[in-house]
Amino acid sequence: MSPSCCSGKYSVALFFFILSAVPIAYIISSEKAVPSTHVISYHSSGFLRECAKWDDVGRRFLVSYMDGGGGIGELVPTKDSDDVLKEVTLVKDVDLAGNSSNGFVIDRHRNRLLLAVGDLLGNRYSALVAYDLSTWRRLFLTVLSSHSKLSVVSLLMSL
């Protein structure tokens, strides 16, 4: 007696194969479809960007760097196309070297950017830093916590 293609075992397997093929086909077709909205590509120069915000007054996207000592960057159009953005560093604070930027908020009322900073690996200190949105001059750096009192004193002495 030879196995039949239409036996119960094979029909159940065929049913589940067809059932799983439908969502996969939908995902593939939606990925290949032309988007109905405008798409902008972004080429980062680093490994990890922790936060991105739209600055409505400056008409720009701002991003915070989690790698390479932290900092703030701006996304600007490339020379080739307005649909492809590149990253330009605005703030790379030497006092924060070894730390990472862990999020920011735009304080439009005071025309400043507030940046949360932390040392994820060395646990030296965490801080809050403010920068002027027009000049990118540092307004203040407040140490929130540190591993030891000595590192806070040495940090404050270096300011």
- Establish if 61 belongs to a structural domain: yes
- Establish if 134 belongs to a structural domain: yes
- Establish if 24 belongs to a structural domain: no
State mean pLDDT over 108-131.
85
Tell me how far apart the alpha carbons of residues 3 and 1 are, in angstroms, rounded to a whole number. 7
- Establish if 53 belongs to a structural domain: yes
6 confidence band (pLDDT: 50, 70, 90): low
Please provide the average confidence, as pLDDT, over all residues in the chain.
Answer: 79
Nearest to 101 by CA among 57, 148, 64, 154: 64
Owning domain of residue 94: 47-158
- Establish if 6 belongs to a structural domain: no
The model's pTM? 0.64
123 confidence band (pLDDT: 50, 70, 90): low
Number of domains the chain is built from: 1
- Establish if 57 belongs to a structural domain: yes
Each residue of 43-93: pLDDT tens digit? 777 677 778 898 988 888 898 887 766 788 898 877 777 677 888 889 888
Nearest to 52 by CA among 127, 113, 95: 113
